A and B are shown apart, each in its own frame.
Chain A
């Protein structure tokens, strides 16, 4: 197990390097640059700017000095657009915010989704099942960019219970968390339900019931664990999708999170911020896929590394 983790981490390094090089080249091939503005800059000013940010160097040198900055000093460079700030500062401000509502949404989606899925499976073909399935289909077809304005309309404008945006304290967390979690919640509920239904008809459950175990124990002890396998494989990518999909939440709720910084950096051609966030997202994806694989081994004894 330990050597497996080491091996995976070792592969992560060249993967990230490849990600850096490809993103770097893609970014520079996009028309326009960080200093393209409605008023064309005088050539001398543009030259001064390019010199200051190293954009006058050949691409290969820009890439190598960029990577060296990260490896040697963990320095992702200055932002080309938010000139009072470094990329490290921008990530240090935005990522904790995104991580906070990302983790809360994730927890909410898993707890509610799994409960709903299990309940629907146990009460298969009853009213409860239909309601659960109906709710989850409804939640899944309602994307978060529709959900967010609806939530603000109801809870901010009509009821006046919650702030419609910002990031000042726990009451500001509620709407973003609901908006971000519902579609994931729905997917988890549906995966749990179908997986649970399948497990409930399998031989080992019949055996457990035949032994005379109470139903509660059959479900919690014998059915839930194997039924969770497909859910877990969904959770890794789902978590990353939540962090990367935080763009919509950031835009509607003005949280100051990293998702908005990511989109802005692409539109502003803020090369340094874009690279920094891309690397962060890449590293997270690699990390969560690894966590999922480790969980797999723990849940399903048949899987060996």
Chain B
């Protein structure tokens, strides 16, 4: 999509969305007397500070306590948040956001452009030591890298309050998806006076001041988080749901049991249980695409095994894995087998045609894999020995066992290495692996969030597949009028070189109480807002 059409579509989305604000309850629907929604958290919330939080679950809570420039609707399209709209300069490098003058903090003070300036500087400030400081760099905000490194003062950051309701941002490269990035929790405004008065404790219930549709009333670490509708929120009159409660339950099966006992309105369904639950509770079991891809990353760098430097071996291994067995027999939750890197449901992305994915069945792929292995000098009589590393999880283990059986058939003997999360990550980052389980969740709904990761300079390319042509394609995509053909070229190059073995594309597999309405069904990032939800009378 080129810049002009993007602006046109986002302008349409923005103008349409004025009706789509907050909970849109259809006529004739009777609301339940008690409007409360209880959702599930796998782990304790690590931080309720927008610039400190690093977790998806933390973001789910933060989106209700704070509001950024833009929100998303149930299809993932942008809708106004604190910003009503924006304009962009002809060179695509200066964004000017117009903020609504009705936005208020929960202490009654007005939300101004200065609050955003403070929050963004705080994110980049070395003194904050935010693990998400790099997000400012990802956003290409002017001088972000120098500020994060401490080489420039924070006021050198390219974000300025022109007046109370006009925010100007200067970026260094045109980014077609820049407005989408404003949905991320690390860009949310924070109240300077409250933070300066309370220090690290400012996020406690009673002290926390936010500008979201809810306020924090209770937070027992590892037990629950309770949020109540915020009267000072600019659209409070359209908020139907009065109370949001998050229960921390560390065990997925236990969470499902408590859902079935009526203690929760939404939980994830553990792998393998979706078919049974969908049959028993057709009005509650749901599966929707979720913006993450699961792969085996191959170490083609200096410390990696010699055999993996041979592209024939890498391709053979990718061909040999039967994805249908993994998604239909192991996961069983509506996930899709992956033959490329970018998630299939990402906006505007279309997977390029590839021979092995589209023109061959699994038997043919296995034949081709055996041929390739024979050319490379391996067979079942003279097998290649490799170690497959994964982090502790029943699902990863099942998939690894299945994959090792499939690879054995083409002459690759796999030894499974199970490590707990931190060791797994540490070993991957020090290139101490042959092949390793990896998953990536898109930061925004656009293909570059996946494809950028495989550039030589991404810092996440642990398999060290460095390719100049690929880097060039991705660099060109940043300024291209329509980046999609370049994304297809990048995907084709990945298929030809096969530095990663795609396994499957994620799905959100949930049980959702039948009387809860307004949760997004077509939003691949599963970005949801309590203000959009309501409970109907049964």
Contacts and interface: CB of A to CB of B under 8 A. Distances in A.
B52 interface: yes
Contacts of B254: 149, 152, 164-165, 252
Interface stretch (B4-12, B126-134, B160-168, B492-500): B126-134
B251 interface: yes
A152 B258 contact: yes
Interface in A247-275: 250-252, 254-257, 260-261, 264, 267-269
Contacts of B137: 42
Contacts of A32: 422-423, 425-426
B131 A256 contact: no
Given A32-B423, A44-B150, A260-B250, A85 B261 contact: no
B427 A31 contact: yes
B54 interface: yes
A45 B134 contact: yes
Contacts of B134: 39, 41-42, 45
A30 B134 CA distance: 26
A84 B203 contact: yes
B421 to A, nearest CB: 7
Contacts of B352: none
A185 B262 CA distance: 32
A152 to B, nearest CB: 6
B261 A156 contact: yes
Given A31-B426, A39-B459, A40-B460, A45 B129 contact: yes
Interface string A132-171: 0000000000000000010011001100100111110000
A83 B260 contact: no
Nearest to B443: A39
Given A35-B131, A254-B222, A264-B44, A149 B459 contact: no
Chain B: interface residue count, which band?
A: 35 or more
A216 interface: no
Interface in B206-254: 220-224, 247-251, 253-254
A164 B129 contact: no
A13 B263 CA distance: 47
B48 interface: yes
B107 interface: no
A167 B220 CA distance: 9
A84 B48 contact: yes
Interface string B450-474: 0000000001101000000000000
Contact of B459 (A40, A165, A251, A268): A40
Interface in A267-290: 267-269
A41 B131 contact: yes
Interface in A67-88: 78, 81-86
B220 A42 contact: no
A45 to B, nearest CB: 5
Contacts of A116: none
Nearest to A42: B134
Contact of B220 (A33, A81, A93, A252): A93
B201 A84 contact: yes
Interface string A94-108: 100000000000000
Q: Of A83, A90, A268, which is in contact with the most chain B CB atoms at under 10 Å from its CB? A: A83
Contact of A44 (B49, B149, B248): B149
Nearest to A52: B129
Contact of B223 (A38, A256, A264): A256
A231 B236 CA distance: 62
Interface in B126-157: 126-127, 129-131, 133-134, 137, 148-150
A18 interface: no
A83 B423 contact: no
A166 B247 contact: yes
A250 B222 contact: yes
Interface of B: 43-44, 46-49, 52, 54, 126-127, 129-131, 133-134, 137, 148-150, 200-204, 220-224, 247-251, 253-254, 257-258, 260-263, 420-423, 425-427, 429, 459-460, 462
Given A37-B425, A156-B258, 9 more contacts: A32-B422, A36-B425, A40-B462, A42-B137, A250-B250, A251-B251, A252-B250, A256-B223, A267-B420
